[in-house]
A = this chain, B = another copy of it.
Amino acid sequence: MRSDLDRLMAEHEIDAFFIPETEGENVYRDYLTGGVHASPFILKKRGEAPILMVFGMEREEAAKSGLAVLTFEEIGRMELIGQYGRGTNAELTAFYQLLVERFDINGGVTLYGTANIQYTMRLMEIFQALQGKIQIIRDKAPDIFDVAAETKDASELEKMREVGKRTGAVMQMTRDWISTHRGENGQVVTAEGKPLTIGDVKRFLRLKLLEQGLEDGGVTIFAQGRDAGIPHSRGEENEILRPGESIVFDLFPRTIGGGYYHDMTRTWSLGFAREDVQQAYEQVLSVFHRSLEGIEIGQPTNQVDKEVCRLFEAAGHPTKMSTPKTHEGYVHSLGHGLGLRVHEAPAISQFAADSTVFKAGHVVTIEPGLYYPSKGYGVRIEDTVYLDENGQLINLTDCPYDLVVPLRG
């Protein structure tokens, strides 16, 4: 949890860290600030609150974090930029030197955040010049943010509950809306007889996401038939929906402008279900429920995924356990942690180390599936669940599992 950061800094022998002022997504920054519409440079010394530094024009957005804010103008960076040019090696060297002296930074120092790889390589060279005053160290993996973020505190759980509620509502609204259409000559059509495409569905669901204050970044999976048999195929915009085909609908939005994700999948078949799809669906649903029962505090996650492999193999399906290169059967791992990132610790995978165990405070996805592109179908069922301190599993996804979505007429 966030409150563990100072303890983790001590354990990892980190006296201070920087998060550089890079643009773009930066979950480390969001984790410390609660999300601000600015690109602050962040300094945190162990045992002290983070300090944000920004150009003056971003000062008010940065202050919304509730953290202390200094402007680059106040601390004298503008003079360095005037002398050396912004972001040059000379300017960055002088800026970091200024920080080390002004904030009396000593000991082991590291950097976190998201950055252009070349920029990080350059920073490593720049820090060579500062050695002596401070020691630049790499944190071990998993780093303090990975460890802290893996378990959620009450305020994070509350936000994730809310995103879950809204995401489930959007999936249900999409289901109800598709149900107002009818099947005709092997196609799903509107009341006026116009064919309904995957692109139409995605436009509808993005509108509903927007109404709920959510965004999907354009990557929602709504894949039909053979495409549903390839776990990460997004579906083709111009493809017309067809009754009786399996549809994998994997929805993983977050609040607009950043924030916590939800992640859920339903498999649908419109109007009616083929027998092979119905059977695979029942097997996946059964394995889904069985795997939830296997989750206990202290249990290695690899055991739960291995048990899922055994269950699927007993039903005659290949898995990555016995057939590492298979593209058919159960071809991915069972789930993953979820938070400000759509994939984070823990991995729930047969390949995870024995030390990767379920912990109180975990928010994880559980998402078994069966994939047969050669037979023209795929099935996946996914919920996001929270493991509380009593070992109780709380499902954050609220949406029926039914395979068949009725059509009109």
Give complex CA distance A146, B61 in Å.
28
Are A57 and B115 CB-contacts (below 8 A) given A215-B217, A257-B218?
Answer: no
Query: Which residues of chain B are within 8 angstroms of A141 by Cβ–Cβ distance?
Result: 89, 118, 122
Are A115 and B117 CB-contacts (below 8 A) given A57-B331, A58-B232, A327-B56?
Answer: yes
Pair B351/A86 contact, Cβ less than 8 Å: yes
Is A49 part of the binding interface, using a Cβ–Cβ cutoff of 8 Å?
Answer: no
A4 to chain B, nearest CB (A): 17
Give complex CA distance A347, B24 in Å.
17
Is A318 part of the binding interface, using a Cβ–Cβ cutoff of 8 Å?
Answer: no
A229 to chain B, nearest CB (A): 10
Is A23 part of the binding interface, using a Cβ–Cβ cutoff of 8 Å?
Answer: yes
Is A332 part of the binding interface, using a Cβ–Cβ cutoff of 8 Å?
Answer: yes
Is A112 part of the binding interface, using a Cβ–Cβ cutoff of 8 Å?
Answer: yes
A382 to chain B, nearest CB (A): 14
Give complex CA distance A325, B73 in Å.
5
Q: Which of A21-63 contact B (CB under 8 A)?
A: 23-25, 37-38, 56-61
Pair B114/A115 contact, Cβ less than 8 Å: yes
Give complex CA distance A113, B121 in Å.
12
Give complex CA distance A81, B352 in Å.
10
A57 to chain B, nearest CB (A): 4
Is A157 part of the binding interface, using a Cβ–Cβ cutoff of 8 Å?
Answer: no
Query: Which residues of chain B are within 8 angstroms of A173 by Cβ–Cβ distance?
Result: none
A59 to chain B, nearest CB (A): 7
Query: Which residues of chain B are within 8 angstroms of A25 by Cβ–Cβ distance?
Result: 24-25
Give complex CA distance A227, B58 in Å.
11
Pair A82/B324 contact, Cβ less than 8 Å: yes
CB < 8 Å neighbour of A115 from B58, B86, B120, B353: B120
Is A393 part of the binding interface, using a Cβ–Cβ cutoff of 8 Å?
Answer: no
Pair A218/B218 contact, Cβ less than 8 Å: no
CB < 8 Å neighbour of A117 from B61, B79, B112: B112
Give complex CA distance A82, B227 in Å.
27
Give complex CA distance A122, B219 in Å.
29
**Which chain B residue lies CB-closest to A227?**
B60
Query: Which residues of chain B are within 8 angstroms of A125 by Cβ–Cβ distance?
Result: 138
A266-308 Cβ-contact flags toward B at 8 Å (1 or 0): 0000000000000000000000000000000000000000000
Pair B139/A85 contact, Cβ less than 8 Å: no
Are A218 and B38 CB-contacts (below 8 A) given A118-B112, A347-B86?
Answer: no
Give complex CA distance A217, B30 in Å.
14
Is A225 part of the binding interface, using a Cβ–Cβ cutoff of 8 Å?
Answer: no
Pair B114/A230 contact, Cβ less than 8 Å: no
Query: Which residues of chain B are within 8 angstroms of A351 by Cβ–Cβ distance?
Result: 81-82, 85-86
**Which chain B residue lies CB-closest to A347?**
B86
Q: Which of A57-113 contact B (CB under 8 A)?
A: 57-61, 73-74, 78-79, 81-82, 85-86, 89, 110-113
Pair A233/B118 contact, Cβ less than 8 Å: no
Is A394 part of the binding interface, using a Cβ–Cβ cutoff of 8 Å?
Answer: no
Q: Which residues of A contact B (CB under 8 A)?
A: 20, 23-25, 37-38, 56-61, 73-74, 78-79, 81-82, 85-86, 89, 110-118, 120-125, 138-139, 141, 143, 203, 206-207, 210, 215, 217-219, 227, 230-234, 256-258, 320, 324-325, 327, 331-332, 341-343, 347, 349, 351-353, 371
Interface CB pairs A-B, < 8 A, 16:
A24-B341, A56-B331, A57-B232, A57-B331, A59-B230, A60-B230, A60-B233, A61-B232, A61-B233, A82-B351, A86-B349, A89-B141, A113-B117, A115-B120, A117-B123, A203-B210
In addition to A56-B331, A110-B118, A122-B138, 10 A-B residue pairs with Cβ atoms within 8 Å of each other are A23-B343, A25-B25, A74-B325, A78-B325, A111-B117, A113-B117, A122-B141, A125-B138, A203-B210, A217-B257
- Please name the 6 residue pairs, one residue from A and one from B, whose CB atoms are nearest each other, closest first: A218-B257, A57-B231, A120-B120, A218-B256, A73-B325, A121-B138
